[in-house]
Amino acid sequence: MAYEIEEGGVDDIDRIVDQVRERHAEQDEPFCLENATVRDLYDALPEGVIRPYVCRVDGSYSGGFVTVEFGGRAIRWVGAAKPSVDLPVNDLLDWAYVTDAMERGVTTYDLAGANNQRIAQFKAKFAPELVPYYALENGNRTMTALSKLYGTLRS
């Protein structure tokens, strides 16, 4: 099984986002990000801020993700859905991205998804340095109640 990993372009964004949407649907999870939003950001932001990376196995798309890169930091924003091939596609993508990003001066890479147990287990194998984060919510009574209801429904 031959594979190739490369930084893609705007044309790869749809396939990446569609794959994530399909994976969420398989798990009966909502997914609200529109392909056009990611494409618009790719086009509107300075070159290199939005970076799609793709893995092709035997010439066919097998997986990918989109990162946001700025100020020496990178976040794997969307993608890295479970691939349909028997190959550690996401590990290979992460390694290729990290080695490329280091050459560009990136010093921090956030795989995102800290509050999801499955994702946290995946991230743990990289022996990361834990960095706390905080969330602050403020709103009127109605918005606070709706936010709490939404959080309850999501869990």
DSSP-derived letter for residue 6 is E
List the CATH code of the domain at 3-130: 3.40.630.30
| Mean pLDDT of all residues belonging to the chain | 83
Orientation of helix 10-26 relative to helix 35-44, angle to 10°: 150
4 HSE (CA, 13 A, CB side) = 8
Question: Would you place residue 45 in the very low, low, confident or very high pLDDT band (cuts 50, 70, 90)?
Answer: very high
d(CA 41, CA 46): 9
Domain boundaries defined on the chain: 3-130
Give pLDDT, residue 51: 96
pTM confidence score: 0.76
Give pLDDT, residue 54: 95
Question: Would you place residue 32 in the very low, low, confident or very high pLDDT band (cuts 50, 70, 90)?
Answer: confident
d(CA 1, CA 3): 7
Q: Which two tokens stand for residue 8?
A: 């893609």
One DSSP character per residue, 43-108 reads HHSPTTSEEEEEEEETTEEEEEEEEEEETTEEEEEEE-PPPSSSS-HHHHHHHHHHHHHHHTT--E
